């Protein structure tokens, strides 16, 4: 398919999505409960990744994303957690 624009926006327990194509726009809302679902209940790598990142950001909520040092810290913690969860190996080729 050839889409002009695709957008997901998280709204609590679900995601509002919008696809714009040549024939117009289609929107919807899918509930996945990723706002509260524990990592043990993840059913895909996507869900596991979302939950791990969500939890790490919560643990680092005092960090300021306007600060490069804080952004880099969060990036390091997130990447290490994803590697530790087996979502990729540290030296996999791109």
Break the chain into its structural domains and give their ranges.
1-33, 37-87
Could you tell me if 26 and 18 are in contact, meaning their C-beta atoms sit under 8 angstroms apart?
Answer: yes
Indicate if the pLDDT at residue 92 is higher than 70.
yes
pLDDT, tens digit, for every residue of 12-69? 999 999 998 888 899 999 999 999 999 999 999 999 999 999 999 999 999 999 999 9
pLDDT, tens digit, for every residue of 58-73? 999 999 999 999 999 9
Q: In the chain, which residue ranges form alpha helices assigned H by DSSP? A: 45-59, 68-84
Please work out, in degrees rounded to the nearest 5, the angle formed at the alpha carbon of residue 91 by the alpha carbons of 54 and 59. Answer: 20
Task: Give the residue among 54, 49, 56, 10 at the shortest CA–CA distance from 32.
Answer: 10
């Amino acid at each position: 398919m050839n889409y002009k624009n695709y957008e997901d926006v998280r709204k609590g327990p679900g995601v509002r999505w919008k696809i714009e194509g040549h024939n117009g726009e289609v929107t919807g809302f899918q509930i996945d409960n990723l706002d509260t679902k524990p990592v043990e209940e993840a059913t895909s790598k996507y869900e596991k990744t979302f939950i791990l990142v969500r939890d790490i950001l919560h643990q680092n909520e005092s960090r300021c994303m306007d600060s490069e040092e804080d952004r880099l810290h969060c990036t390091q913690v997130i990447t290490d957690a994803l590697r530790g969860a087996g979502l990729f190996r540290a030296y996999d080729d791109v």
